Amino acid sequence: MRSKIDHSKYRVRDVLAVNLPFFMSEEDVIGKAKEKVPQRYHNQTWILNSQIMEDALGVPSDSDEAVIVVLDKSGNLISQVHGKVTAARISEIIAALQSLASD
């Protein structure tokens, strides 16, 4: 999906929201996340240990599925897609990005 987005116009960020078990430190979680996130995306990935982002975007805190959101430059929610990334969901996100370009 990243290859279909003009990075000169849009900022892409990955946010991993983690509920830390009592026996894991943030450093442990960051280490495990780095194993899964390709190195070229490390500077575009945020790891949060709080529910603030989930609450603000209406994402269920127990969700194991990806949520892709599109925010405008003022932080308003333009689109939200929840679930496995499919061609139809990618098209929905690209349409939302294109609607921003016409504003």
pLDDT at 1: 59
pLDDT at 2: 65
pLDDT at 102: 63
Q: What is the pTM of this model?
A: 0.65
pLDDT at 11: 77
For β-strands 77-82 and 45-48, DSSP reports them as unpaired
What digits encode the pLDDT tens for the residues 11-40? 777 777 777 778 888 888 888 888 888 888
What digits encode the pLDDT tens for the residues 32-85? 888 888 888 888 787 777 677 788 877 777 777 788 888 888 888 888 888 888
